[in-house]
């Protein structure tokens, strides 16, 4: 083919990129574009760190493309009409993109494909953001897994049987295997203001470069299993945002850890972190095979639960959102997400459990709050996490297992270091006193009894 267009979405990089690889191997001239999709952006607040992160990432991408003799085309429009229009404007034969697994995104892609087909063009998509997708890891009966551990075991067996899935998709314009070249031109990147957004505190948060963060994490990955649960400790990889927007390659991450493990350098932490990456793909295949989880419980019986509603419930929800519950760890965690757009994974479980099982509020309200505020918001992971905490999801914790916010605080922030970071007014308290509730909006023991009664409906 003469001309092709690579449509960037959740893959904001120029290395190890499946769609880019295939475009350069198939076309003489390759254009690269990103659409600030108004179908998504119009509902967001003007100060949204994710949009700023994408904008900054695109600026770096544009510089890379310019250096490679190409350019980046950026539009602020509805993607489902902008891509067919751009394909016509550039006279491209095929639009290349990488798979997305969210129901709304797949529906959008189907509409784009239909529009392109009507104009005699084609949309080709490829696996890129996961190691295994869709129907690649199934039970012996050929069905999707709904329990994590068997899925993980099957995932690992499949990887062992075919490690070539981790091979990088090279991007070598003008090479023998990829004779295509990037289309020359001038990159067009509108300002944040041009698309209706403004600067945030993103640059003060130490988001960092994804590859550099990963290299630094590899130096402490062996301790990940022990360190990951303590929010005051530098335990996580902090790569979730980069995985969400594809500024790192999942193949590179897994391949690097597997290589370290093979020579005994990854320790126990390496296996634990790899398991977390498998959880990510587990939730993606749950979303793909069971799209009803977007609006309802994975287990339909849990949709019968009568959650608290009305003005009193709204006040409780507001207190949770604003970090005014009276439970220090819960409040510090909510202040963390409000101020930074990040929340430690252990705290995501604690705060979610508190909302559903201490306050009796529908998990979907909390899910929506996280969706709006998390820098690394991913529908599959966010939905899966909230359904796990509310016991309504696949392989979720049993409904009668209810986190105690005080014991969680004592166990995972024993000296109150994390709490004091976000609640400096408690700095003078001892390690014992700081965990005790202050003017709590609910008594945990009483709330636990109400929750057990509330969940009785699932047994009927």
User: Which tokens sit at 317?
Assistant: 């929800």
Residue 273 is among the residues annotated as catalytic for this protein: no
From the candidates 7, 155, 320, 363, give the one annotated as an active-site residue: 363
From the candidates 155, 320, 386, 388, give the one annotated as an active-site residue: 386
Q: Which residues contact 323 (CB under 8 A, 6 or more apart)?
A: 330, 331, 332, 333, 334, 335, 338, 422
Residue-wise DSSP of 259-328: HHHHTT-SHHHHHHHHHHHHHHHHHHHHHHH-GGGGTS-SSGGGGG-----SHHHHHHHHHHHHT-SS-H
Query: Do 367 and 392 contact (CB within 8 A), yes or no?
Result: no
Find the helix or strand (DSSP H, E) in which 364 lies: helix 363-373
Query: Do 93 and 1 contact (CB within 8 A), yes or no?
Result: yes
Report the distance separating Cα 409 and Cα 427, nearest Å: 15
From the candidates 64, 122, 136, 307, give the one annotated as an active-site residue: 307
Question: Running DSSP on this structure, what letter comes out for residue 355?
Answer: I
CA distance to 11, 75, 128, per residue, from 63 (Å): 16, 17, 23
Residue 279 is among the residues annotated as catalytic for this protein: yes
Q: Comparing C-alpha atoms, which of 246, 259, 244, 210 is closest to residue 17?
A: 246
Residue 386 is among the residues annotated as catalytic for this protein: yes
From the candidates 276, 308, 338, 404, give the one annotated as an active-site residue: 276
**H helices then E strands: how many in the chain?**
19, 6
Residue 307 is among the residues annotated as catalytic for this protein: yes
Query: Do 326 and 437 contact (CB within 8 A), yes or no?
Result: yes
From the candidates 279, 320, 375, 388, give the one annotated as an active-site residue: 279
Query: Do 111 and 80 contact (CB within 8 A), yes or no?
Result: yes
Q: Which residues contact 20 (CB under 8 A, 6 or more apart)?
A: 6, 14, 30, 32, 96, 169, 171
Query: Do 319 and 366 contact (CB within 8 A), yes or no?
Result: no
From the candidates 216, 338, 345, 404, give the one annotated as an active-site residue: 345
Catalytic center residues: 276, 279, 307, 345, 363, 386
């Amino acid at each position: 083919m003469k001309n092709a267009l690579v449509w960037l979405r959740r893959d904001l990089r120029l290395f190890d990129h499946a769609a880019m690889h295939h475009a350069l191997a198939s076309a003489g001239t390759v254009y690269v574009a990103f659409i600030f999709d108004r179908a998504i952006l119009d509902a967001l607040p003007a100060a949204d760190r994710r949009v700023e992160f994408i904008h900054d990432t695109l600026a770096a991408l544009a510089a890379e493309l310019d250096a490679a003799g190409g350019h980046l085309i950026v539009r602020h429009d509805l993607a489902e009409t902008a891509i067919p229009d751009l394909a016509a404007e550039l006279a491209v034969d095929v639009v290349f993109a990488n798979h997305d697994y969210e129901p709304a995104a797949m529906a959008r892609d189907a509409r784009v494909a239909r529009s392109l087909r009507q104009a005699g063009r084609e949309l080709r998509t490829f696996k890129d953001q996961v190691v295994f997708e869709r129907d690649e890891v199934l039970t012996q009966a050929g069905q999707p897994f709904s329990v994590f551990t068997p899925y993980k075991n099957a995932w690992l067996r499949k990887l062992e049987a075919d490690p070539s899935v981790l091979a990088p998709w090279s991007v070598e314009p003008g090479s023998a295997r990829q004779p295509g070249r990037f289309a020359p031109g001038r990159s067009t990147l509108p300002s944040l203001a041009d698309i209706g957004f403004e600067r945030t505190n993103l640059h003060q948060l130490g988001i960092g470069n994804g590859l550099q963060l990963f290299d630094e994490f590899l130096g402490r990955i062996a301790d990940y299993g022990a360190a990951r649960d303590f929010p005051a400790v530098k335990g996580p990889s902090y790569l979730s945002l980069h995985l969400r927007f594809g500024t790192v390659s999942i193949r590179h991450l897994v391949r690097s850890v597997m290589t370290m493990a093979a020579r005994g350098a990854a320790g126990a932490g390496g296996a634990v972190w790899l398991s977390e990456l498998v959880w990510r793909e587990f939730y993606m295949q749950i979303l793909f095979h069971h799209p009803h989880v977007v609006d309802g419980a994975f287990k339909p019986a849990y949709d019968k639960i009568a959650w608290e509603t009305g003005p009193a419930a709204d006040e409780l929800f507001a207190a949770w959102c604003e970090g005014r519950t009276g439970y220090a760890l819960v409040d510090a965690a909510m202040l963390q997400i409000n101020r930074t757009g990040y929340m430690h994974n252990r705290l995501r479980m604690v705060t979610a459990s508190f909302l559903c099982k201490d306050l009796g509020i529908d998990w979907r309200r909390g899910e929506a709050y996280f969706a709006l505020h998390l820098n690394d918001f991913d529908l599959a992971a966010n939905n899966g996490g909230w359904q796990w905490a509310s016991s309504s999801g696949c392989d979720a914790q049993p409904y009668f297992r209810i986190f105690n916010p005080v014991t969680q605080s004592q166990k995972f922030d024993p000296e109150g270091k994390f709490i004091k970071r976000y609640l400096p007014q408690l700095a003078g308290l001892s390690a014992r006193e700081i965990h005790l509730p202050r003017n709590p909006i609910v008594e945990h023991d009483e709330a636990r009894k109400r929750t057990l009664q509330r969940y009785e409906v699932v047994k009927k």
